[in-house]
Amino acid sequence: MIHTAILCLYVVTGGGGVLGFIPLPEAFPWLIALLLAGVYGTVRTSEGKNKDPKSKGSADTQSERVDYGRSERIQDSMAMNFPDGLVLALDTKMKFLFIGGKEIPELKKPRKYWMGRVINENFHPSINLDAISQLKKTFDGDATEYEVLTNGKSYRVTATPIAGPAGKHHEILVIIRDITEAIKLENNLRKAQKKEKEFNILRSRFVTLASHEFRTPLSTILTSVFLLENYSGDDYETEKLSYIDKIKRAVHTLTDLLNNFLSIGKLEEGKIKVDVSPVQIQSFLEGILQEVVSIRKAKQDVVFKFEADYDWIEADKQLLRNIVVNLLTNAIKYSPATEEIRLDAEVKDDLLKIRVTDKGTGIPKNEQGQIFKRFFRGQNANNIDGTGLGLNLVRKYVRLMKGSIDFSSELNQGSTFIVRIPTTKALKNSEDD
């Protein structure tokens, strides 16, 4: 970045005096604008007092002719190399006195074509009737600036009055800049900052949840092992089985936690791909039910109902297992020990439909729009162990398999989650489309 400094523009007049000085801004385009204004003012002043130094009979000295030529070369060089836009000088009738800039080829007309013509709404995408009206106000002495978004491009237009004799403004300097890339860069920076902020929040939640969620099952395992060591003999067989069951449930919980945390990273990196293979769906789901039996609460029943036009489908076994296990685990976790949980599956018309229903705590209406967010947990679930990752992962798995997930829930009445996953035939049809 260029630090602010003071730049003196010495204007060669008949008296050889100094017109004044202009602060040098940090932005390069503004520097060019001010320099152009100074050069243009010099040329106009010289023209007002003298004839063309190049004409015969002129009384100007050789030095004045050199200065005049140098001013023209500087003016042309600066104007034609003005980046990302156009430089214009207009008179009070809105006629072109000067035009330059690297965007001139975009106008489809040479510089000479525009000289002396009146600017109109067909000149450039950044110029319309309202813009012309704003530019005219610049002759009152105040600078004008506005931005335009058109045809996928963004422009910033700045108009500055050029000081004339007796403080009057007979010309204005107009800078048109293409700021499309700058805006894209700014938007990308904002997105990056937002993602960084979200990442920091997620990292903090992860550390808090992980430390708590891992500590609980580990404590359960340690306590159960300690108590088992103190039970010996056949008289304590019931107690032993109870503590062994607790250990199994704790290990199952730890395994699911680790799998969920690992899955987050793999999903973010795009490492999880759909791997389709033949699945005997009924026996597959019955096997999953046997897995979750160890974590269900006492007197808690899981009812399974299956209907199908055919038994075999093609699907990703691992993703399908993760979906069903997460939904059943949630149903068990948030349901009372005496309430029934239902798993219904249906295969029909190249579609696998899975429904998991519980009569648990339910989800408050005002929180239902957030349940698929990572680490989100409802206010009525604070006293129940969980990470808030399960449903977020389920939705990602379902989307990978080109499926959909819906739910309905009533507070203290329970919830129903419905997953619809197309079979291989339907998947192939969607890919062909």
To 10 degrees, what angle do helices 317-334 and 390-400 make? 150
Tens digits of residue pLDDT in 120-156: 988 998 898 888 998 999 998 889 899 888 888 899 9
Contact indicator for 172, 140 with CB cutoff of 8 Å: no
Does residue 59 register a pLDDT over 80? no
pLDDT in tens, 283-335: 999 999 988 877 777 778 889 999 998 888 989 998 999 899 889 988 988 88
Fold observed for domain 273-433: Heat Shock Protein 90 (3.30.565)
Closest CA to 415 of 345, 290, 319, 328: 328
pLDDT of residue 358: 93
> Are 32 and 9 spatial neighbours (Cβ–Cβ below 8 Å)?
no
Q: Residue range 215-234: average pLDDT?
A: 76
The pLDDT assigned to 23 comes to: 40
CATH topology identical between 85-178 and 182-271: no
Is residue 419 within 8 A of residue 404, CB to CB? The reply is: yes
Most distant pair of Cα atoms in the chain: their distance: 130
Secondary structure of residue 138 in the 3-state scheme: helix
Neighbours of 171 (CB within 10 A): 20
Structure tokens at 341: 């949980």
CB 231 within 8 A of CB 240: yes
Determine contact, residues 421/401, Cβ cutoff 8 Å.
yes
Contacts of 420 (CB under 8 A, 6+ apart): 351, 352, 353, 403, 404, 405
> Among 194-198, 250-254, 259-263, 315-319, whose mean pLDDT is lowest?
259-263
Q: Which of 55-69, 95-109, 124-138 has the lowest mean pLDDT?
A: 55-69
Distance between CA atoms of residues 431 and 322, nearest Å:
24
Q: What confidence category does residue 58 fall into, taking pLDDT thresholds of 50, 70 and 90?
A: low
Place of tokens 């809105």: 94
Q: Which helix (H) or strand (E) holds 96?
A: strand 96-100
pLDDT band at 249 (very low <50, low <70, confident <90, very high): confident
**Residue with tokens 């829930």, as numbered in its chain:** 409
341-348 vs 302-308, strand pairing mode? parallel
pLDDT of residue 347 exceeding 90, the answer is yes
**pLDDT grade for 6, boundaries at 50, 70 and 90:** very low
> How far is residue 336 CA from its own chain's centroid?
41
Residue spans of alpha helices (H) in 269-372: 281-292, 317-334
Residue 272, pLDDT above cutoff 60: yes
Q: Residue 73 has what pLDDT?
A: 65
Q: Give the C-alpha separation, 149 to 130, whole Å.
A: 14
- Mention every residue, 6+ apart, whose C-beta is less than 8 A from residue 195: none
Buried b (16+ CB within 10 A) or exposed e, 43-66: ebbbeeeeeebeeeeeebeeebee
The residue type found at 382 is N
> What token pair was written down for 239?
């107690």
Q: What's the one-letter identity of residue 9? A: L
Domain ranges in the chain are: 1-81, 85-178, 182-271, 273-433
Least Cα distance to 333 among 390, 261, 259, 385 occurs for 385
pLDDT of residue 244: 81
Band of pLDDT at residue 429, cut at 50, 70 and 90: very low
Backbone angles phi, psi at 405, to 5 degrees: -135, 135
Query: Span 217-225, mean pLDDT?
Result: 79
Q: What is the DSSP letter of 14?
A: T
The yes-or-no verdict on residue 187 having pLDDT over 70 is yes
Other CB atoms within a 10 A radius of the CB of residue 214 amount to: 15
> What DSSP character marks residue 11?
-
pLDDT of residue 198: 73
User: Tens of pLDDT along 154-171?
Assistant: 999 999 998 877 778 889
- Confirm or reject CATH 1.25.40.10 for domain 85-178, answering yes or no: no
The whole-angstrom separation of Cα 114 and Cα 96 is 6
- Domain 182-271 in CATH 1.10.1040.10? The answer is no
